[in-house]
């Protein structure tokens, strides 16, 4: 894994695009994948890169035929002063038209979902809003692109600043108690 704030990272845009394209080729025919656009995997990787850059996290570039199984990151999360951190799972959902956070019910396994705008460049993802996985699972299910999805409008989601305040940034001395369930 490479830290995305490594000074050499900007020079790896082509490599990231090639990684996304390799993911696409690997995912062809996999029932776990739903490609909505020709650049579906580039869009998804752009969201992961944006999150990794923001929170100084390593990014997982390991190719997997069935994808990441709905979890992009594990992060320490603080609920308040003096509280111990919990390790929570995060799934970043990137879209060129991020009006809604969409999650397929069988893939709704993350503790937190982050909505990201994809502008066409692998390094240009913009983190917009986020929501707890519990809230996503209570959202209405609507048909999107021929499949049922939990659907929350962007305006119903929480501001990224709150998530930023809760995530333990690398270098903070955190007392971590375990994974959230």
Residue 153, token pair as written in the block? 């409008």
Instruction: Say if residues 169 and 55 touch (Cβ distance below 8 Å).
Output: yes
Confidence category of residue 170, pLDDT binned at 50, 70, 90: very low
Q: In the chain, where are the structural domains located?
A: 2-179
**Tokens 């830290």 belong to which residue?**
3
Q: What is the pLDDT of residues 83-117, one digit of tens each?
A: 788 899 999 999 999 999 999 998 899 999 999 99
pLDDT for 115-165, tens place per residue? 999 988 777 899 999 999 999 999 999 998 888 999 999 999 999 999 999
Query: Smallest Cα–Cα separation from 20: which of 128, 123, 147?
Result: 123
The three-state secondary structure class of 140 is: coil
Better pLDDT: 180 or 53: 53
Report yes or no: 147 and 36 within 8 Å, Cβ to Cβ. no
- pLDDT of amino acid 173: 38
Q: What pLDDT was estimated at residue 143?
A: 94
Q: What is the pLDDT of residue 30?
A: 47
């Amino acid at each position: 894994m490479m830290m995305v704030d490594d000074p050499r990272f900007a020079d790896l845009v082509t490599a990231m695009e090639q990684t996304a394209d390799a993911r696409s080729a690997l995912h062809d025919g996999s029932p776990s994948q739903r490609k909505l656009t020709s650049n579906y995997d580039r869009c998804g990787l752009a969201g992961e890169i944006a999150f990794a850059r923001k929170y100084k996290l390593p990014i997982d570039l390991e190719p997997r035929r069935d994808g990441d199984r709905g979890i992009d990151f594990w992060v320490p999360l603080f609920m308040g002063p003096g509280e111990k951190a919990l390790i929570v799972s995060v799934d970043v959902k990137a879209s060129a038209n991020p009006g809604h956070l969409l999650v397929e019910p069988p893939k709704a396994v993350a503790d937190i979902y982050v909505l990201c705008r994809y502008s066409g460049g692998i390094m240009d993802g913009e983190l917009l809003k986020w929501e707890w996985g519990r809230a996503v699972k209570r959202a209405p299910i609507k048909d999107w692109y021929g499949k049922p999805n939990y659907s929350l409008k962007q305006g119903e989601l929480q501001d990224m600043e709150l998530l930023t305040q809760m995530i333990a940034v690398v270098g903070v001395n955190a007392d971590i108690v375990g994974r959230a369930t």
